[in-house]
Amino acid sequence: MNPHLYAVILAGGSGTRFWPLSRHLYPKQLLRIIGDETLIQQTMRRVLRSVPAGRVLISTNPAQADSIRVQLGEWKEDLAGNFVIEPEARNTAPALALAAEALVKRDPDALMLVLPADHVIKREGRFRAAVALGADLAAAGHLVTFGVKPIRAETGYGYIQPHLRKRLAARGGLVGHPVARFVEKPDTDTALKYLKAGTYYWNSGIFMWRAAMFLEEVALHQPALAKGMKAIRRLLGEPGTQDKVSLAYKNLPSISVDYGVMECSSRAAMIPADFHWSDVGNWSSLEEVAPRNGSGNVVSGKVVDLGSRDSILYADQRLVATIGLSDMVVVDTPDATLICPKDRSQDVKKIVEVLRRQGAPEHLEHRTMFRPWGSYTVLEEGSGYKVKRVTVNPGRRLSLQLHHQRSEHWVVITGTARVTCGERVYDLTVGQSTAIPKETAHRLENPGKEMLHIIEVQNGPYLGEDDIVRLQDDYGRVEK
C-alpha cells in the first residue's frame, strides 16, 4: 500500500430521499438497505482493501458522529482521532477543505481518496484497480474523478466528457484522461443525447488528489473559502476558540466540490471506471442493487402480497399486505408509511419538506435512537408519560444523570441492571423493578455479558431529551 494514501469518507448526508427509512438524524449511510451491513460499514470495508483503518478520515457533523462511531465500533481505536466534524453542513467543498487541512498537517504528501458513505459498489476488484490508477494520477498533480458509464438518461447526475484521445496514464486495464467538460444535471433530451453518444460519463462523486494540491486549487478558484479556511487553521491552533471556529465555518460559502473546484480546475482528470456503481439516490433505484423476485418485486420484511409486480415492498416488523400493485413503492417503518408510484420517488423529499414545515417528528428521527452505550426505542408517548425500551450493551453504562421534571420506573426484561440511585448501588434481574425520583442522581449500567433490556416508564410534565443533567459520562458528553 502507498504510505501516503488516505481515505476521506463523506458521511454528512441529510437523509431526505430515503424517507421514511432515513430521517434527518438518521440518513441513508446508517441504514441496512442491502446486505447485512449498513452502507457506511460497507464503504469502510471497501476502503480497507486499499487503505489501513488508521488512515481513514470520517467527515461528518455533530448530530451524526455518535451513530457513526457506534456503527464503525469495530475500528474504534484506529478511527479515534480521525473524525473531522463540520460545525455545520456547508456542502462538500468546505468539508473537503477541512479534511485536506487536517491531512496536510499530518502528512504534507498525503493523497486523499474521497468517497461518499452511502453508495453501493460492486465488482470491488475493479474499484481497487481504479483507486490504484487514481493514486498515480493524483501523485502527478491531477484532481481525479471516476466516471461511470451511463445506463439511462438520468437527469439527476452530473456528466463528464473526457478527452478520450488524450491518455494521462494507464494501469490495470484502465486509462486516465483529461476532462474536456462537466455538465451538471442536463435536461432529458440532452441526457438522452449523452447516453447515445457513448462519450459521456456519470460523475460518481468519488475523487482523488494530493491534499496540498486540492487546497491550492481551492485557493485559486474559491478565494473566499480559502481565506475562511486560513482563519480557521489559525484558530485551530489556539485553546478555547471552539465557538470562533464554529462561527468562522458557518460563514464559509456553501458550495459543492464539483461546481466550486472540479469544474474550474485545469487539473481535472477522469478514469472511465468499470466497477458497478449506484448512489441509490431514491427508492426506485433500489432495483439496481437489490435482488428481485420472480414477479420483479424487491421485497423485504413482513410483506404478504397477492399478485403485485415490479414494485418495491419494503417493510420491517409490522405487517404490510399488498394486492395487485404495479411499479409502486411501499415503505413501512414503525411510525410512518410511504406509498407512491416508482416514477414519483424523487418527490419523497417534498413530503419530508412538508413534514419539516409542520414540525412533525417523523421527518427528524426514528422511534429507535442509537447511543454509544446502546439504544432506546420509544414505544408510546402521551400526555405526561413516555414508555421506552432501553438496550444497554454488555459492559456499557449511561451517564450519571438527573432529571428536573420527571421520575422514571425501570423494569428489567432481559439481563442484569446495575442501578445507581442517589447514594445506593444495587443490581436488578429479570422481573425486578425500581423507581427513580426526580432530582435524584442515577445511572443504569449493564455489568453482565448479555444484553440488558429494560422498560422505562417516564412520568412528568416535561419529558424532552434535553431535561438530562449529566454529572459523569463515559463518552465525554458532560456539559461544561
Query: What residues line the site for a copy of itself (CB under 8 A)?
Result: 19-20, 304, 306, 318-325, 328, 330, 332, 335-341, 344, 347-348, 350-351, 354-355, 360, 362, 379-380, 382-385, 387, 389, 407, 409, 411, 413-414, 430-433, 435, 453, 455, 457, 459-460
Other beta carbons within 10 Å of 291: 8
Which is nearer to a copy of itself, 77 or 317 (by Cβ)?
A: 317
User: H or E element: which one contains 99?
Assistant: helix 92-106
Which is nearer to a copy of itself, 413 or 471 (by Cβ)?
A: 413
Which is nearer to a copy of itself, 128 or 309 (by Cβ)?
A: 309
Task: State in angstroms the smallest separation of the CB of 309 from a copy of itself.
Answer: 13
Task: State in angstroms the smallest separation of the CB of 295 from a copy of itself.
Answer: 15
Other beta carbons within 10 Å of 335: 16
Which is nearer to a copy of itself, 138 or 331 (by Cβ)?
A: 331
Which is nearer to a copy of itself, 320 or 398 (by Cβ)?
A: 320
Q: Is 307 left (phi over 0), alpha (psi -120 to 50) or beta?
A: left
Which is nearer to a copy of itself, 199 or 337 (by Cβ)?
A: 337
User: H or E element: which one contains 121?
Assistant: strand 120-122
Alpha carbon 263 to its chain centroid, in Å, reads 25
Which is nearer to a copy of itself, 149 or 350 (by Cβ)?
A: 350
CA angle at residue 20 from 14 to 25, to 5 degrees? 35
Task: State in angstroms the smallest separation of the CB of 382 from a copy of itself.
Answer: 7
Task: State in angstroms the smallest separation of the CB of 448 from a copy of itself.
Answer: 16
Q: Which residue in 27, 35, 34 sits closest to 60, CA to CA?
A: 27
| HSE toward the beta carbon, residue 30, CA cutoff 13 A | 28
Task: State in angstroms the smallest separation of the CB of 17 from a copy of itself.
Answer: 13
Task: State in angstroms the smallest separation of the CB of 454 from a copy of itself.
Answer: 9
User: H or E element: which one contains 45?
Assistant: helix 39-47
- CA distance readout (Å), 395 to 421, 444, 447: 19, 11, 5
CA dist 256 and 177 (Å) reads 23
User: H or E element: which one contains 137?
Assistant: helix 124-139
Residues contacting residue 81 through CB under 8 Å, at least 6 positions apart: none
Which is nearer to a copy of itself, 384 or 394 (by Cβ)?
A: 384
Which is nearer to a copy of itself, 38 or 300 (by Cβ)?
A: 300
Task: State in angstroms the smallest separation of the CB of 461 from a copy of itself.
Answer: 10
Sign of CA dihedral 216, 217, 222, 228: negative
Q: Where are the alpha helices (DSSP H) in 152-293?
A: 188-197, 211-221, 223-237, 242-250, 257, 286-289
Task: State in angstroms the smallest separation of the CB of 345 from a copy of itself.
Answer: 9
Task: State in angstroms the smallest separation of the CB of 349 from a copy of itself.
Answer: 11
Which is nearer to a copy of itself, 48 or 387 (by Cβ)?
A: 387
Task: State in angstroms the smallest separation of the CB of 15 from a copy of itself.
Answer: 15
The answer to whether the CB of 366 falls within 8 A of the CB of 23 is yes
The answer to whether the CB of 408 falls within 8 A of the CB of 456 is yes
Q: Is 422 left (phi over 0), alpha (psi -120 to 50) or beta?
A: left
- CA distance readout (Å), 173 to 34, 138, 271: 29, 18, 11
